[in-house]
Structure 1
Amino acid sequence: VAFTGSTAVGKAIARSVAGTDKKVTLELGGKAANIVFDDAPLDQAIEGIVGGIFFNQGHVCCAGSRLLVQENIYDDVLERLKRRMSTLRLGDPLDKNTDIGAINSSEQLARIKELSDIGDAEGAERWSVPCEIPDSGFWFPPTIFTGVTQAHRIAREEIFGPVLSVLTFRTPSEAVEKANNTPYGLSAGVWTEKGSRILSMANQLRAGVVWANTFNKFDPSSPFGGYKESGYGREGGKHGLAAYLKGASA
């Protein structure tokens, strides 16, 4: 049984096959941390941040929905990010000029709105792109929350929409601690010019995939999958075949 979807459904599948001889691979939810250090190539990082959370309206399990910015570049990154977000276009996804399409259902739109309203109520500061919303369909403008702490629900729960929570850190160890402070572990991103820092962070981040100076880029020869409540088993590469082979471990 191979499943890609929500953690709740993944748990139900795991319960239903428990005690049988069926093998299971689960690729479930995520709350990925996109970590930007003060020596990062910022223009490149901004594109990675925007693509990481707003691609496919945020309907991506490994979306970079938590942005961790080193404290001394926070103002610069936020200014650049808002400026880049202001160029995004909402509209028909079949139009090649569209950047952000519609939310996939009224139910999902209601969840995005609910969690965003909770972010407001818990004291985070919301900023949404000023843009024209189409008359028909389910729409939510690209949104960022600042003043977010790890106690906020928008920093803990998967929103599965175009909503980014922004946190800060001072040291690499603090970044690792905040990034790992989640029940999920599907993906993460690290932006820095130091190769040694990339390797050190990748070794400490509890995520199935850690990107360096990019985000959401895949190679079919490399395995992809999660830790913790982001699932188990792997897709891609030789590891992705294991669950389909008799006598092989998933």
Structure 2
Amino acid sequence: MSAEFYDLLQAEDDRRRAERRFAHAARRAVTGVVEVGAGSGIVTQVLLAASAVPVHAVEPSPAMRSLLLSRLAAVRADRRARVTVHPHPLQEAGLEQVADLVVASNVIATLDPATRRELWKHVCASLVPGGLLLFDPPPTALPADIQHGTTLGPVRVGPDHYYAEIRHTPERGIIRAEFAYRVEREGRVLRREHETFDLWPADPALITEELHQAGLHPVRAPGPDLIAARRTG
């Protein structure tokens, strides 16, 4: 459901965030880049523009992958020749020591603890020794109450205005992120759509321990909203 509205409401903010977070590291890559959860391809474009190495875009969702491929269709042919789209989770992609940079944007919080721990192992396997992992961390704890977050939009398309309202609700150890979309024309609501995602909070010390166990050593991150780790051997 979100795929229909994602780019319209979030693409430009996400592009600026991706450039701030990942472009510098991508420029320094000499072996390759793996993107875990490429989504609609915004980060993929940033990685391709900043780097000169092969990029592996891992995206198992057919809806998001269709946006990714549509975006890649508009990329310069020489850049498009460097990207491989993997239609499976990283755990099934079979990528071994193909990259000195792995990025995961808006992914880790959506993984349950067992899946997250398994992912670290495959991230480590995909990196060459000394390779760098960058990701935005999950929430550190459950909120005390329902959090009414950002309102996205309005974005105008012809006579219509598109909006999204985001709410986070604590529920039995997870945070339920609810996206309520609506389309209005002349003040009248034409459509409403709704999608929910589960987020798993994790204490930073737990994330550090999991990374160590997978062979990844936390290092200083390039920004306050990222965690960085290197493959130790």
Fold-level match, TM-score > 0.5?
A: no
Alignment TM-score, normalising by the size of structure 1: 0.36
Q: Of the two structures, which has the highest relative contact order with CA contacts closer than 8 Å and spacing of 6 or more?
A: 1
